[in-house]
Amino acid sequence: VQLVESGGGLVQAGGSLRLSCAASGFTLDDYLIGWFRQAPGKEREGVSCISGSDGTINTWYVDSVKGRFTISKDSAKSTVYLQLNSLKPEDTAIYYCAAAYGDDWLSSFADEYDYWGQGTQVTVSS
């Protein structure tokens, strides 16, 4: 099982980025995929997650990103995306994607995820 994040970078406040999480070694639709972030000196925080397939997709967002971030997935490409819009300096962090077995649940708790990527840095300047 491997998860590889990409798409991070430096952006001005109000800007946008699209993060990608490329999954391999397992069937994406069989797993819950979550995005987490960790800022310096802070605990890892659940940002968003997605599960399901075909006509039933379940998503969750932490309150601080609702209306600004959008999670989606392309099962054919085995990739999950996190679109970050209207970025704020407080969004600065390392963003990680993670996977947990099961296609019908959602979780914002890092301890419930089994596999993790290496992270991608997002820096938002004011």
- Across residues 33-54, what is the average pLDDT? 95
What would the pLDDT profile of 70-126 be if each residue is shown by its tens digit? 999 999 999 999 999 999 999 999 999 999 999 889 999 999 999 999 999 999 999
CB 120 within 8 A of CB 3: no
Parallel, antiparallel or unpaired: strands 9-12 and 79-84: unpaired
Evaluate if residue 54 carries a pLDDT over 90. no
